Amino acid sequence: MRYRFSLRGRGDLTEWRDAARAFLMAGIVPHIIEWRTMDDADGLFGFDENHLPPPHPGCEPLSVSPAFMRLAQAVLCHSDPTRFALLYRMLFRMMHGGVVHGRHLLQMATDPDVVAASRLAKSVGRDYHKMTAFVRFKELPLTEGFAGRRRFVSWFEPDHFIIARVAPFFQRRFTDMDWVIATPKGSASWDGETLRTTDEPAEKPDLRDETDELWRTYYASIFNPARLKVKMMTTEMPKKYWKNLPEAELIPGLIANAEANVIDMARKAASEPLPFHHRIKEAAAKAPAEPMAAAGTLAALKQEARHCTRCDIHCLATQTVFGDGPPDARVMFVGEQPGDQEDLAGKPFVGPAGKLFNDVIGEVGIDRRSLYITNAVKHFKYEPRGKRRIHQKPNMGEVRQCRWWLTQELELVRPKLVVAMGATALFALTDMRQKLEDVRGEPIAMQDGRTLFVTVHPSYLLRIPDEGRKAEELARFRQDMNRIKRLAA
């Protein structure tokens, strides 16, 4: 004898539980029951098949663990047609399978039935969460003269029969408004007093309103292209939900422009200097006035340069980085502009480029203390990027403005030999925009009787990516320093 039993099969625990209890109390083995739903082809006409067998004489009423009932409640919401048979098989095994394979079945995580049931329950859980995240309400216009609560409608397409399960969540979340959530697997509604659910399939309402625009604006504002991971995004927000999400229209465009937007964001990123920059700047501004240096001296020029506003770079920089060294040095080195570390320390060539410079001159036997070291531009020009300050080359206008200081340094220090390190220094000293290689490495007589020597900037050496080439260029730089040493002597 075989049994055939039809259920509505829309997530209701009680209909399956009542039938399962009757089969179990009659001792009916799982494999002779065919479980069907009303949606099966002839299911609707199958109710007369639903004869339940009488209980086996002497059969005790059953007690089933709450853990199994919780699992069954979730599994029954799944749309998999095998769920009823699976649960009945598990129930039967728990009742008849003895201590190990029976009562403790749920603890056997590798048992194929337990695995299958957990998989179905998890998938129902995922559907529940997607629904809580992707339901979008649209407001219904208020009837004229009606001053009641605002009313909202939403359409969602869940994979499983979860409407009764998820409805209390929406009741808690949207308690102040009246709403209906319609789905092809049933609907729920709330009117401020009663939460109603039905498992009858609903038709998709034709609704578009200005709340769509609100969702789009909201989504575009929270979309962070820098965090975009398309694969993860489509896992979190699977494409099947997009058609009912007003903001989904934006997604392809946002993805396509993500790279450009990231670059733009980086460009506009937080441009606040670090707090200690402010502190240093304020301390420099509040520094007790030094005794005025004698007019016409290098010290007086340095004091004056502290307040330089000849170009806009001073606005960003922490302080003026003036030349440093003996006021009667025979050799003056000119770089481009202070870098990040020089800007904070207030001294030229103390950062990475300065370290390389120190190393090389040290190797060839030049004493840095004998040199006057300065820059074509006396303020650090940079672009803020988050917490970093990215070096920016000064433009010709800025170099020309700042030449005013360099010219006076030259007049006051009167070096015999002036070394231009890099193209900016060469331009500042000569107004020449020549290729460095054309003038590098040979002394050049200047009109004022001084000698000019041109070499590369140490930062250039730091930027060479290829180690072999870097070593070659360093050797050439060392040669230049040797030459300078001989010229200075």
Please state, as a whole number, how many other Cβ atoms lie within 10 Å of the Cβ of residue 183: 22
* Cα–Cα dist 378/440, whole Å: 24
337 binds ligand URA (CB under 6 A): yes
Nearer to ligand URA, 153 or 373 (CB): 373
Which of 424, 474, 414 lies closest to 454 in space, CA to CA?
424
Among 9, 339, 394, 415, contact with ligand URA (rule: CB under 6 A): 339
Give min distance, CB of 350 to ligand URA, in A: 7
394 binds ligand URA (CB under 6 A): no
348 binds ligand URA (CB under 6 A): yes
Nearer to ligand URA, 331 or 353 (CB): 353
Nearer to ligand URA, 219 or 460 (CB): 460
351 binds ligand URA (CB under 6 A): yes
* Cα–Cα dist 453/439, whole Å: 8
Nearer to ligand URA, 54 or 326 (CB): 326
336 binds ligand URA (CB under 6 A): yes
Among 9, 325, 338, 415, contact with ligand URA (rule: CB under 6 A): 338
349 binds ligand URA (CB under 6 A): yes
375 binds ligand URA (CB under 6 A): yes
Among 427, 459, 481, 484, contact with ligand URA (rule: CB under 6 A): 459
11 binds ligand URA (CB under 6 A): no
Which whole-number Å values give the CA distances from 235 to 132, 228, 229, 259, in the listed order? 16, 12, 10, 21
Task: Check: CB of residue 484 under 8 Å from CB of residue 363.
Answer: no
Nearer to ligand URA, 11 or 348 (CB): 348
9 binds ligand URA (CB under 6 A): no
Nearer to ligand URA, 415 or 422 (CB): 422
Nearer to ligand URA, 155 or 349 (CB): 349
325 binds ligand URA (CB under 6 A): no
Among 342, 398, 409, 480, contact with ligand URA (rule: CB under 6 A): 342
Among 335, 379, 413, 456, contact with ligand URA (rule: CB under 6 A): 335
* Cα–Cα dist 234/230, whole Å: 6
Task: Check: CB of residue 123 under 8 Å from CB of residue 78.
Answer: yes
Segment contacting ligand URA by CB under 6 A, of 14-22, 148-156, 280-288, 329-337? 329-337
Segment contacting ligand URA by CB under 6 A, of 125-133, 141-149, 343-351, 463-471? 343-351
343 binds ligand URA (CB under 6 A): no
Give min distance, CB of 381 to ligand URA, in A: 11
Nearer to ligand URA, 78 or 277 (CB): 277
Nearer to ligand URA, 87 or 298 (CB): 298
Q: Under the rule (CB under 6 A), what is the footprint of ligand URA?
A: 335-339, 342, 348-349, 351, 353-354, 375, 459
